[in-house]
Amino acid sequence: MDELKVKINRLEKEINESFDVLNGPKIQDELQELRSKSENPDFWDDPQKAQDISKKIAKLDSKIGSWVEIISSVKELNELIDLGDESMSDELQDSVDKIDAAYQRLKEQLKFSGAYDDFDALVTISAGAGGVDAMDWAEMLERMYLRWIENTGLKVSIIDRSPGDEAGIKSSSFEVSGVLTYGKLKSEHGVHRLVRLSPFNADNLRQTSFAKVEVVPLIDEPDQVEIDDQDLKIDVYRSGGKGGQSVNTTDSAVRITHIPTGLVVAIQNERSQLQNKEKAMQILRSKLAQLKHEQHKDKISELKGPNEQAAWGNQIRSYVLHPYKMVKDLRTNYETSNIDAVLGGDLDGFIEAYLNMKLGQ
């Protein structure tokens, strides 16, 4: 029984430490507060607010419910072992093994314990240094992510796409929605470097190109990121491109500049100016939330504008097609020579390596 006691104590300690990493105690307090609100007699006087609170309760409960159960189970099991009944040793051992197996499954959740990991994501790909090759590279990345999204069963909606002058794209923005979308895609945020023999060079010389991939959690609630209206410059203009006659004859496109950080968001794909403004504000909130996370700031007023350029020295991952084939992530050192599979959307190895690194495994 002594060996069993040591094992259950170790297991209980690990489970409680993992629950802390998940911010479990804080979530429990928030859940208790929300449930208290839901029990008020006037709770359904405001149906929309009541629905929002009910959804949040369900969301938080699904995040920690299994953890609360396993913590309770291991505590009860520890108390049974303390009774020292040798006749139950085989049964207790079986229970310990089952709890350990359940804990190992739950540990996977720790990889997605970030504040925004269960949010949808906005992905923006921008061509960097490298001219036409960089625009072609940006389109290759766009295709890679769209294939990964399709293979993963997530949903995608194109927000904006600007084609290149000769080939490829200057930029592309799309929303990705599904389970743990931002948590899975956040590993792709950064500068991506391509080395290959250029198809756009008459001498077929080796060319290095760069593209920037920006991944931000899509923030729906305005109160999650408070923005001072005085810090905004809002311009309206006539939309261009496809979309029918109304797109080109009304000033429906909106450009919002956040003056303190220099962040600019322009939207023209919605039909009305109001819709474009709402979408632009949502994206701006998302980008500011990302900056807060990156710069470890509590207030929007403390933020500095992003200064990372899609050029040499800033890359997170290198894709080499010549003189050999290799994709290597410079943060995790995860690499593969099967570059065709990666460009075809096989990103799970890179995502898993990044999540394990952040978890300290």
| Domain ranges across the chain | 2-112, 121-220+311-359, 222-302
Residue 291 phi/psi, 5-degree rounding, is: -65, -40
Per-residue pLDDT tens for 64-88? 899 999 999 999 998 888 887 777 8
Q: What is the pTM of this model?
A: 0.74
Mean pLDDT of 28-33: 94
pLDDT > 90? residue 150: yes
What phi, psi does 98 have (nearest 5°)? -65, -40
User: Is 2-112 a CATH 2.40.10.10 domain?
Assistant: no
Report how far residue 170's alpha carbon sits from residue 291's, in angstroms, rounded to the nearest whole number. 23
Res. 182: pLDDT tops 60 = yes
pLDDT tens-place string over residues 194-214:
999 998 877 778 899 999 999
Question: What percentage of the chain carries pLDDT values higher than 70?
Answer: 89
CATH 1.10.3720.10 fits 121-220+311-359, yes or no: no
With residues binned 3-state (H G I as helix, E B as strand, rest as coil), the percentages for the chain, rounded to 5, are 50, 20, 30
Q: What is residue 287's predicted lDDT score, i.e. its pLDDT?
A: 86
Of the candidates 17, 34, 14, which has an alpha carbon nearest to the alpha carbon of residue 25?
17
174 vs 3, higher pLDDT? 174
**What confidence score (pLDDT) does residue 244 get?**
40
Q: What is the mean pLDDT of residues 135-162?
A: 95
Residue 314 has pLDDT above 90, yes or no: no
222-302 has which CATH code? 3.30.160.20
Which of 123-137, 156-170, 260-274 has the least mean pLDDT?
260-274
pLDDT at 306 over 70: no
Mean per-residue pLDDT for 274-281? 87
C-alpha distances in angstroms, 276 versus 176, 184, 215, 271, 320?
18, 27, 20, 8, 39
Distance CA 224, CA 115 (A): 11
Percentage, residues of the chain above pLDDT 90: 48
Which structure tokens are listed for 26?
Answer: 């804080």
Q: Which two tokens stand for residue 146?
A: 């769209």
Q: Are 216 and 237 in contact (CB under 8 A)?
A: no
